[in-house]
A = this chain, B = another copy of it.
């Protein structure tokens, strides 16, 4: 539920004076996304998403995100495209915030994905990894191994408020991952947040990917491990191996997993679960008074992490060569 910054008609008129998009027909705040303010804008020239970047986004990262969306689209991936102003610039300012117009992508996100959806997501993720090869910019993943310890330090004193023993559980997992985190896996551009609300379908067919604002340079298989967490568990946090199998097979139809990636899958899945556990923990403990955003439950990822702790190999996720 996200409109943090209100855009007046004067703000919009001033912003749009740099573009050739004709008259404004409507502007509606969208109740989606939790990091930025998003508006659906209709003008005589079409439909667009106007995004205002809020404080959690580092302005220095915007050229990476915008450049990546263009790079991926030029290589056949369907994703929103930054719209450039008359003077060829995509990034502007509105109401004091960095702001960008991107093209509107049709499609709906799937609330209850099936194995078939998971298979298509696997293919799309691998296509993204292939399309991103050679992208010249780099962005470190601030939410990987090196970022987890500081996140945890900020929350550990109050972790047991959520459930007794949570601090010890997370500390143990963090120590394990610091000892065992895989190095030297194939790297490239990863989406890093490919949850169901970032994947659009038109009817039964995947139609595009959105929200590249966590994208970064990291091991490709870690992105797959994020998707196993995001797509292949049921509501009760039980792992659905049919969905896992479909996801991994879909990925492998486009890009071949290396043996090292497959061997690392359980530990990567643990890391991905810990990453979402930690950010949710921090958000849960730091809801500002009057917040308009309801934080997501960190306990979901405790349950998922317990599954990964017992996984012995990629076969436990449905992989078969």
Chain A positions within 8 Å of B, measured between CB atoms, are 1-3, 6, 8-10, 12, 23-32, 40, 42, 104, 106-112, 200-203, 290, 292-294
Tell me the nearest residue of chain B to A31, going by C-beta: B29
Which chain B residues border A110 with CB–CB below 8 Å? 9
Cβ contact within 8 Å between B6 and A106: no
Q: Which of B3, B27, B108, B290 sits near A108, CB closer than 8 Å?
A: B27
A202 and B10 in contact (CB under 8 A), knowing A28-B40, A30-B30, A106-B42? no
Q: Which of B24, B25, B42, B107 sits near A25, CB closer than 8 Å?
A: B107
Cβ contact within 8 Å between A31 and B111: no
Q: In the bound complex, what is the Cα–Cα distance between A141 and B108 (angstroms)?
A: 39
The 3 closest A-B pairs by CB, nearest first: A29-B31, A8-B111, A3-B31
Which chain B residues border A294 with CB–CB below 8 Å? 290, 292
Tell me the nearest residue of chain B to A201, going by C-beta: B9
Q: Which of B10, B29, B106 sits near A111, CB closer than 8 Å?
A: B10
Which chain B residues border A111 with CB–CB below 8 Å? 6, 8-10
Tell me the nearest residue of chain B to A2, going by C-beta: B31
Cβ contact within 8 Å between B31 and A30: yes
Q: Which of B12, B32, B201 sits near A28, CB closer than 8 Å?
A: B32
Cβ contact within 8 Å between B202 and A25: yes
Nearest-Cβ distance from residue A35 to partner chain B, whole angstroms: 15
Which chain B residues border A32 with CB–CB below 8 Å? 28-29
What are 29 A-B pairs with beta-carbon distances under 8 A?
Answer: A1-B1, A1-B3, A1-B292, A2-B31, A6-B111, A8-B112, A9-B110, A9-B111, A9-B112, A9-B201, A10-B112, A23-B202, A24-B108, A25-B107, A25-B202, A26-B104, A26-B106, A26-B107, A26-B108, A26-B200, A28-B28, A28-B30, A28-B31, A28-B32, A29-B31, A30-B30, A31-B31, A290-B294, A292-B293
Nearest-Cβ distance from residue A60 to partner chain B, whole angstroms: 28
Tell me the nearest residue of chain B to A3, going by C-beta: B31
Tell me the nearest residue of chain B to A113, going by C-beta: B9
Q: In the bound complex, what is the Cα–Cα distance between A1 and B1 (angstroms)?
A: 7
Q: In the bound complex, what is the Cα–Cα distance between A203 and B32 (angstroms)?
A: 27
Nearest-Cβ distance from residue A25 to partner chain B, whole angstroms: 4
Which chain B residues border A106 with CB–CB below 8 Å? 25-26, 42
Q: In the bound complex, what is the Cα–Cα distance between A85 and B276 (angstroms)?
A: 43
Q: In the bound complex, what is the Cα–Cα distance between A292 and B201 (angstroms)?
A: 28
Tell me the nearest residue of chain B to A203, going by C-beta: B23
Nearest-Cβ distance from residue A107 to partner chain B, whole angstroms: 6
Chain B CB count within 10 A is highest, among A2, A10, A104, A111, for A111
Q: In the bound complex, what is the Cα–Cα distance between A9 and B108 (angstroms)?
A: 7
Q: In the bound complex, what is the Cα–Cα distance between A290 and B292 (angstroms)?
A: 8
Nearest-Cβ distance from residue A45 to partner chain B, whole angstroms: 14
Which chain B residues border A107 with CB–CB below 8 Å? 25-26
Tell me the nearest residue of chain B to A47, going by C-beta: B42
Which chain B residues border A24 with CB–CB below 8 Å? 108, 202
Which chain B residues border A112 with CB–CB below 8 Å? 8-10
Q: In the bound complex, what is the Cα–Cα distance between A112 and B7 (angstroms)?
A: 11
